[in-house]
Structure 1
Amino acid sequence: MTETDRDAPAGPDTPQRLETSLGAFPVVRDGDVLRVRNVRYARARRFEPPTPVPPDPDESAGLQQTLIACPQPPSPADEIYGPQLADATFSEDCLRLTVTRPARLDGPAPVLVWVHGGAYVSGAGDLPGYDPSTLVREHGLVVVNVTFRLGALGFFGDDGGTGDEHESGPPPRPANLGLLDVITALRWVRDHIGAFGGDPTQVTACGQSAGADLLAHVLGADGTEGLFRRAILQSTPLGIRGGRAEIHERMCRSAATLDADGPVDDVLDAQRRAAAAVAGMNDRAGMPFAPEYGRAPLPPEDELLATWRRRAPGLELMVTWTSQEGETFVQLDPRGRALRDKPVVGRLLAWFVCRKVTDTLFRTGCKAFAKDMADAGAAVVAAELTTRPVDAPMGATHAVELGLLFPNPDRWAEAPVIGPAGARTLVEAGRDLRAAWAEFARTGRLAADRVGTGPGWTGELRVTRRS
């Protein structure tokens, strides 16, 4: 495999071509790293399952400088994570992936497939804050960033699990379309990543928050055996999995008149109505859009654990969470901010709420999942991250480790979760964490019990289970 124009200037955003067995793909070169951006892995009409398509070397030629995202309302989480989508092009034609690899490879490289979070309603795979160039440069991995459908476009089925048409009104919407998108992307990786220098027998799926939750559901879905050998699940919100029937029913009633052929803004308006209709119902209402059980490709809810256990033998899993996950959610909730502002006892009360949210949504569920999978035959590492920027107001909160994994200082300086001081040292401070993730992608093991941080950061990775 060769890269053309090898003597051309190697500055950032230099357009070139990567010769593969599938043709010559356009790339953006940044020194010794190449990025093939916005490769289409499937097509899908609105509210229809994805149809896989073979890689086309020319289809994305004009999109190498474009950030494509599924249409989505503005995210309140921008208050914590900064303006992630300021330069995005919103398009329903968003079933795209980006391949980042070293410019020179001596042989097939381990593959890391990144599935982004965002509560199933926000984000995109190719955000600047998920740029894996440093990880690729340091460890020689091939990284694939996946973009998929979100919110009402991806996780708002109303077919009742039957697939039958309604007696009156518009036809039903299939469930789990965003999950099917990710499964289709993983199949694309299995079938085609070898042409880009990746080893299809060494695939690690990695996700954070809703992205990790999606990958946990891939493990429970029909027809997904063998799509990846290893998985890294960061801050999976397993504490609010399932128990969503009442929420889903109320959401569907609120959007009963949604026209599948109307403008996309009408879909987003229906998404807002659906979320507002369940606001405050229970803890599930904090992430109202999510995979639906008993609807293809997922089993009924009471069969998911048995499916996970059946898939466990031969899997290698790393399950992590942060020690102060709940700080983000306390900050985003007006009630949480009001609690913190109470005289004298406010900060103590907010600490208790943060601890409860951390345990209920993340820590307890992650530990239980790790134990279940280990008992069923998977090799499992479970660990808690206490790492955080020194003097960071939210501490080791939800997603704080992403800047260390994907160190883009300009991007993360805009995010209060890290801020300018923490962003300045991201590359050096995250070196151990990136090495740990890369080691797991290569070997399925995490040799060190503790992964330290560097200047401007404090904390560690505390392993709580190894099997």
Structure 2
Amino acid sequence: MTVAASESSGPRPEVRAVAGVVRGSRDAGVAVFRGIPFAEPPVGALRFAAPQPVRGWSGVREAVSYGPPPPQAGHFGMDALSQEAPGDDWLSVNVWSPDPTPGAGLPVMVWIQGGAYVFGMSGLPEYDGGRLARDGDVVVVTFNYRVGIEGFGQIEGAPPNRGLLDQVAALEWVRDNIRAFGGDPERVTVFGQSAGGGSIAALLAMDRAAGLFRRAIAQSVQGTFFSPDLASDIAAACAAELGLRPTVTDLSGVPPHQLPAAGDALSARMDQWVERWGQPAYRTIPFSPVVDGDILPVTPWQALSDGAGRDIELLVGHTRDEQRLFTAITGLLGEVSEEQAAAALRFLAPSPDGAGRYRHAFPTADPDRLYELVHSDWLFRMPSLHLAQAQAAAGGRTHVYELTWTAPGMGGAFGACHGLDVPLVFGNLDRGRPAMLIGEAPSPEAEALSARMRAAWTSFAAHGDPGWPAYDTEQRLVQVFDTRPAVSAYPEEASRLIWRDHTFPVLPLVDRQRPTARNAAASAGAPIAYDRPRVC
């Protein structure tokens, strides 16, 4: 994106990074540096490759505009927004520092945005780190990573999990450069939401990320992790949308900003693949981290149970009504039928007899409520809770929260929905997409809650203590964020008991007997023209 900073009077800050000198701007007392490359552009010969070290530059590089985002899926108009910023320097970082002098030793908070692994860019106004940096006296870093097919498609000839490798490369940049911006490389906290929370869970399980951060805040952890077989099959179906094979040779010829259209076309028809792909097809999730045994050795829950994160201090939580936003977007809010609720329970509730256990635990719940509960639990709430439980059971320190404050936007219809925590944590209550949740003018109640959450996040980053007791597997104390915050036993006890024995395994290829994407297209008479790419 080419959004320039709003500059205050005074000299513009300059910092000597490893690759060269960058000149930023000042905004409300905070030094801001945007669009600093942390890796070479992953195009041309580097298309679908692991991120490569950025080459240095001579002179002073202007760092006042966000770098161009990676190609995006079409959700929320993100594809059009990404194409407004020409260029292929997708892999860039942005830094907000209250004191950009070497030796200032400030805590560092590195944000990993969400977007279902198919969209997301650090230049969105809701991710502006100025208020968090200024009020919390921390250095805030945001960055871009590859999403969709570019970042997570299982492509023959390419390393898997390229989006996760981008995240590791950004954290290595922080390790090597952040001292020059006033940060302490020994006090790095990663924090992220949704797919960003899932990414943080993955980083906890990755040997390549060891030592790159001391603390982690995982918000609304997306719990989907694919097997290589499942990821390969979905990639084949995606490439078939273009009449191609899922190989570097074939896909490298497709212009980067045209490739996400294939993923969008596949997503529009994923319900046709439910019997083969299972839950991801039911929830329309075409891409997720792949448990490949190397870059990502095991699932995060298994890794933490084995003690992988014992030395990392963890803060994890979710919102109460995670699913509500998605139900509203699909037009089902208040309209869920008994058949739709039954299907959700059948596909998502844990076995054995998860559907029966939900109906027994929530005997008065109507179809809307059951639908929302099982979707929320499967994708976000229980993956987040189980991450905390695995960490605590292995002897690691973890703190848990739930956001239950009802968003005032749209008359409160969204409840405490997915994504509500983002504006509250950053303090950007009146800008960007989440502004619709808060309302046109943030209330004193919203400002007070945001201040409490920002204080908890920055205190955790600085000292490892967000202000409430650590979670254990007996008392299960959590911080409930609402108009009147309180510490209590975990509020979603009924759901916890339903999911108590679930292990969140790798999501498999369900039915190997059904035709592959390529064979299905051929049997239907669709041409498989490998030499002539098309865009749907």
TM range (shorter): 0.7 to 0.9
Query: What's the offset of the Cα at 1:245?
Result: 3.7
The equivalent position to 1:176 in structure 2, one of 161, 168, 175, is 161
Structure 1: unaligned runs, 5 residues or longer: 1-9, 160-171
The question of 1:204 aligning with 2:229 is answered no
Q: How many residues align?
A: 430
Contact 2:315–2:400, Cα closer than 8 Å, also in 1 = yes
| 1:111 aligned onto 2:129 | no
In structure 2, the residue matched to 1:7 is none
Which of 142, 164, 177 pairs up with 1:192?
Answer: 177
**Aligned partner of residue 441 in structure 1, secondary structure:** helix
Aligned partners of 2:268, 2:433: CA distance in 1, in Å? 32
Deviations 1:343-391 (A, max 9, x none): xxxx943222112212222222222221111111211111211123344
Check conservation: 2:15, 2:100, Cα contact below 8 A: no
Distance 1:55 1:126 in 2: 23
Answer whether contact 2:456 2:466 (CA < 8 A) is retained. yes
Give 1:294 shift. 1.4
| Aligned with residue 255 of structure 1, among 219, 236, 239 | 239
**Pair 26,276 (structure 1): closer, same or farther in 2 beyond 3 Å:** same
More divergent stretch after superposition (263-272 vs 309-318): 263-272
Bigger mean CA deviation after superposition, 439-448 or 201-210: 439-448
Task: Say whether residues 1:387 and 2:405 are aligned partners.
Answer: yes
TM-score computed with the length of structure 2 as normaliser: 0.72
Root-mean-square deviation over aligned CA pairs = 3.3
The 2-side partners of 1:247 and 1:314 are apart by: 31
- The equivalent residue for 2:212 is 227
CA contact (8 A) 2:480 2:487 kept: no
**Aligned to 2:259, what secondary structure does the other structure show?**
helix
Distance 1:314 1:118 in 2: 28
Question: Structure 2 vs 1, CA of residues 11 and 66 (structure 1 numbering), >3 Å: closer, same or farther?
Answer: closer
Give the whole-Å Cα distance in 2 for the aligned partners of 1:320 and 1:86: 30
SS at match of 2:209: coil
Question: For structure 1, which segment, 186-195 or 390-399, has the greater mean C-alpha deviation from structure 2 after superposition?
Answer: 390-399
Aligned CA distance change for structure 1 residues 113 and 410 (closer, same or farther; 3 Å):
same
Letter in 2 for 1:64: V
Residue 261 of structure 2 is matched in structure 1 by 269
1:135 maps to 132
2:450 corresponding residue in structure 1: 430
Aligned to 1:64: 64
Match of 1:411 in 2: 431
Aligned equivalents of 2:194, 2:10: Cα separation in 1: 33
Structure 1 residues 37, 319: CA separation in 2 closer, same or farther (over 3 Å shift)? same
Q: Check conservation: 1:384, 1:462, Cα contact below 8 A.
A: no
Residue 175 of structure 1 aligns with an amino acid whose one-letter code is P
State the partner residue of 2:292. 294
Structure 1 residue 329 displacement after superposition: 1.9
- Normalising by structure 1, we get a TM-score of 0.82
Runs of 4+ in 1 over 6 A off after TM superposition: 449-453
Deviations 1:227-271 (A, max 9, x none): 111000000022x33467446414423414053122224412322
Aligned to 2:74: 74
Cα offset for 1:276?
Answer: 3.6
Counterpart in 2 of 1:458?
483
SS for the counterpart of 1:174 is: coil
**Partner residue in 2 for 1:319:** 316
SS in 2 for 1:29: strand
User: CA 1:14–1:68 in 2, change beyond 3 Å: closer, same or farther?
Assistant: farther
CA distance in 2, matches of 1:224, 1:247: 22
Match of 1:290, as an amino acid?
S
Q: Secondary structure at the residue paired with 1:320? A: strand
Q: Structure 1 residues 341 and 175, CA, compared in 2 at 3 Å: closer, same or farther?
A: same
State the distance in 2 between where 1:428 and 1:12 align. 27
Residues of 1 paired with 2:324 and 2:335: CA distance? 14
**Matched letter for residue 241 of structure 1:** F
Q: CA offsets per residue over residues 107-143 of structure 1, 9 Å max, x none?
A: 2100000000010111212321011111111111001
Deviation at 1:313, TM superposition (A): 2.0
Instruction: Report the structure, 1 or 2, having the larger strand content.
Output: 1
Residue 69 of structure 1: CA displacement?
A: 1.3
Q: 1:451 to 1:312 in 2, by over 3 A?
A: closer
Moved more, 17-26 or 377-386: 17-26
Q: Secondary structure at the match of 1:420?
A: coil
